[in-house]
Structure 1
Amino acid sequence: MNNLEILGSRICIIGNSAAGKSTLAQALGRKLGLAICHLDQIAHLPHTDWQPRDKELMRIDHQNFLDHHDCWVIEGNYSYLMPERFARATVILWLDFSRWDSVYRYTKRSLENNKNRAGNLEGATTQFSFKMIRHILFHIPKNKTKYQQLIVNSGVPCIRMTSFASLRNYYKQWGL
């Protein structure tokens, strides 16, 4: 698994909040010359503190991205859009880490308030919310079974990373 060519040219990255999906997407996009879509950026209104957009508008933007790019990396979950994305994907990278590690990373990243981080929402002034902590702790674990079934149904190869150490090893193997 040390060859980036096995990933193909249409890469889906899913996983816990604060797992590093956006950073991985940026690294792969740069290395492979792929268009990048951060789903959180089309799921929320810019210049707000992560106010959700209408789901149908997000669906339209998601479909437009798929229709207008042959080679891409898309990071984010939004399971109601996974079937369309997975149908075109060459690989799914699943960052399936401990929720406690994700809470730690989310809190750390929020306190650093790095407005230039990959995947950040343009104009967002607040980076931390207890609502997101609850989401990471209680909502994400419930989605694992759903994600697993969507992956199986898609027939797309999946690389499931279950620790940050595993992700770091892939960064090294892929020269990212």
Structure 2
Amino acid sequence: MSDFPPLADLGRRIMIMGPTNAGKSTLAVALAQRLGVPAFHVDRFRHLPGTDWQQRPTAEFHALHDAAILEPEWVMDGNYSEVLPQRIARATGIIVVDDNLLRRYWRYFRRTTNGARAGALDGNRDSIKWEMIHWLWHTRHASERSRQKARETGLPLVFTHDQRELDALYAAWGLSRPGSRSRL
């Protein structure tokens, strides 16, 4: 796909879904900067800052997520099916990104060993984990599920299937890859 709708068609509350390490957080920051709205990363609601991805209590996770979606404008990346229905109810558009498994593994190792990145937890104590390596393999075909969920919403949609299409999306919408972190 290289014929993208105008960015304005997606409104001012845009969800970004897709598998782990497909480029969701970086795209969220780029879109938020372009639109002048906050970028939220659902991973940062789910996990405690200053940890190596230790989960928050579920009630606290839900409260942070639900408070963020009540904001008038946002770009929010992440999946988490347990909070997806209320995010969809507030969203005005959805983007589903994907990439091949090899590139997603490469991104995981690069981002984990490289330090600062979009969507990282405050304190950035990330380490390579067998659970994440397994998760990447386990979810290697999950993007079709995300595309199906997105189609069912009736919201304006954009799908990218690989890095080439994601690069085309950045170009079509005049986005630049961010070098700084976004807020919670």
- Scaled by the length of structure 2, the TM-score of the pair is 0.86
Q: Is the 8 A contact 1:97 1:163 kept in 2?
A: yes
Find the aligned partners of 2:173 and 2:148 in 1 and give their Cα distance.
Answer: 28
Return the letter of the residue paired with 2:159.
R
**Residue matched to 1:153:** 152
In the alignment, structure 1 segments of 5+ residues that lack a partner are none
State the AA in 1 paired with 2:103: D
Pair 1:43 & 2:42 matched: no
**How far apart, in 1, do the equivalents of 2:53 and 2:33 lie?**
26
Partner residue of 2:14?
A: 11
Moved over 4 A (4+): none
Deviation at 1:152, TM superposition (A): 3.2
Read off the aligned partner of 1:172 and give its amino acid letter: A
| 1:24-173 equivalent positions in 2, closer than 5 A | 24-67=27-70, 69-112=71-114, 114-115=115-116, 117-141=117-141, 143-144=142-143, 146-173=145-172
Distance 1:53 1:91 in 2: 28
Q: Give me the identity figure in percent.
A: 35
Structure 2 unmatched ranges of 5 or more: 176-184
Structure 1 residue 127: Cα displacement: 3.4
Query: Which residue is 2:181 aligned to?
Result: none
Structure with the higher fraction of residues in helix conformation: 1
Deviations 1:67-122 (A, max 9, x none): 2x11110011101111111112111110122222211211122222x23x110001
**Quick one: distance in 2 between partners of 1:74 and 1:22?**
8
TM-score (normalised: structure 1): 0.90
One-letter amino acid of the structure 2 residue matched with residue 72 of structure 1? W
Paired with 2:22 and 2:148, the residues of 1 have a C-alpha distance of 21
CA drift at 1:145 = 5.2
Aligned residues: 172
State the AA in 2 paired with 1:40. Answer: D
* CA-to-aligned-CA distance 1:39-64 (integer Å, 9 cap, x gap): 11110011110001122211111111
Distance 2:130 2:95 in 1: 27
